[in-house]
Amino acid sequence: MGGIGWNLYFPASKDILNSFTTEDNTLQINSFAEISMQVGLLAATLFSGILYRYVGFENILVIGIILFVSSLLIFSAVKYSKQNKIKVDEKVKLFPYFRKEKWLLLLGIVLYIPFIGTNVITTALPGYIKEHLSGNSINYGITDTMYGVGACLASFVLPLIVKYFNKEGLITAMFVFSIILGTVLSLNQKLSLAIGYIFLLGMVEPVIRTIMYTRTMEIVPSALLGVIVAFWNFINLILQFFANYGVGKVMDEVGPQWGFMIYVGLMIVGTLIFMGIKKPYKTA
């Protein structure tokens, strides 16, 4: 049920966020939204173990419900107007639009590949820390937290970085950087270095996702943004299932450290697809 709730909330939140943006502040608002989400995830990582120990799983569910209801009440007080920054026939349908702009299907895959990669890391990391690096639960907690810290830092500095670097070049650089880090992690033997590598890896996803979501808001008609993100999210769930299954098989048969090679493979695919759609991505 939690998964259903997340997959309903996520595309709706992106559609609503689009209503607050203008051409000049889209990247800043997306970066701030990413920071807010990463801070929430980081806080949940830090406090979930404590809450589980002292209040129990059932009470954690109650706390989650209270937080969602509180968010709903806060949001209901926010006034916003539905903007249509790109003039479009409101009756335009999803699949005819995709037939006209076929490359957007590939854009959705590229956009979600870093997110799938994060889930692959989440799957591989416990076994990697415990079995490959002989660490314990504290080491795992610190390493996992550093991933969130890296993501928060990247979201914070991104609006400053894009003033000096080409956005498309930055996306390509982040993909290449993630491929290098994933390969290094699969070969790494030291826990201290792993913590640093994971911190750096945490900086990759928010940069790619924020820049590409910003570009998506510029390209896609407002009337279709929510349904397109929902469709992309559906494809993401299918790809995520096979990726996580692959990680599990690799970890069982070869070793947990090689789970990061699945991550590397995903990022290579993302790089190649992005290079293939770079022209329409820039000119649309």
- List the one residue out of 42, 66, 52, 15 whose CA is nearest residue 229: 15
Structural domains for the chain: 2-80+93-283 (1.20.1250.20)
Which pLDDT score is estimated for 188?
Answer: 92
pLDDT in tens, 76-133: 776 655 544 444 445 557 677 777 888 888 998 998 898 888 888 888 888 899 888 9
Which pLDDT score is estimated for 85?
Answer: 42
**Gap between the Cα atoms of 117 and 114, Å rounded:** 5
Contacts of residue 65, defined as CB under 8 A and 6 or more positions apart, other chains included, come to: none
Q: Which stretches of the chain drop beneath a pLDDT of 50?
A: 83-89
Which pLDDT score is estimated for 1?
Answer: 57
Q: Which two tokens stand for residue 145?
A: 């937290």
Which pLDDT score is estimated for 186?
Answer: 92
Which pLDDT score is estimated for 88?
Answer: 45
Which pLDDT score is estimated for 87?
Answer: 44
Which pLDDT score is estimated for 230?
Answer: 81
Structural contact between residues 127 and 259, judged by C-beta atoms closer than 8 angstroms: yes
Mean pLDDT, the chain, as a whole number? 80
Residue 283: count other Cβ atoms within 10 Å of its Cβ: 6
Q: Cα–Cα distances in Å, from 87 out to 23, 83, 98, 216, 222?
A: 14, 10, 17, 15, 9
Which pLDDT score is estimated for 222?
Answer: 74
Q: Cα–Cα distances in Å, from 167 out to 25, 27, 161, 202?
A: 15, 11, 9, 19
Which pLDDT score is estimated for 14?
Answer: 61
